[in-house]
Amino acid sequence: MATERSILERIKALLATIDGTGSYTFDLSGTDQVFIGALFLPHRIPSAHIYGGNLGSAQVGGTTLLTGYDRTMRVRIECWVGINSTDGAEIHLAPLDAYNDIRLVLENDRTLNSNVHDLIVSGTTVEPSAPELPGLGVAILDVDITYRQTAGS
């Protein structure tokens, strides 16, 4: 199995454990709520969509083994949430809660089940004040992942 595939599948599995209990606000644990590479589906809210890309390779003198490569991958995650409130604070905070849910689950498994060296999460949120998103908010996370691969594998 390609490392990139296993990274995306591990992220999908982790996001599906977000169940709205404990530290989590939203519930992504239902069937068909976490997707790899799928377009936004308005009938599945909340939902998370995972996109792999921005791959890089390097060999750093003194740190990378001659038989390997240091790799980077940026994964984008979009988490769409419904907001049924007219309270300005709640409208603003709901996408931030979704961002926090995903950040928490990823940072609790920073090696993605020993598939990678580390990950760093950053991102932004969009609240439904935008005319094209009435009643919807979205958290957009960029996950920068570093890992090492043996050449040719």
1 has a pLDDT exceeding 80: no
Nearest to 4 by CA among 36, 34, 47: 36
Q: pLDDT band for position 136 (50/70/90)? A: confident
133 has a pLDDT exceeding 70: no
- Average pLDDT of every residue of the chain: 89
pLDDT per residue as tens digits for the range 32-78: 899 999 777 767 899 999 999 899 988 887 777 778 889 999 999 99
Beta bridge pairs of residue 35: 49
Triad 1, 146, 81: Cα angle to 5°:
85
- pLDDT above 70 coverage of the chain, percent: 93
Question: Rounded to two decimals, what is the model's pTM?
Answer: 0.90
SS3 71: strand
**Location of structure tokens 């609240």:** 127
| DSSP labels, 74-104 | EEEEEEEEE-----HHHHHHHHHHHHHHHHH
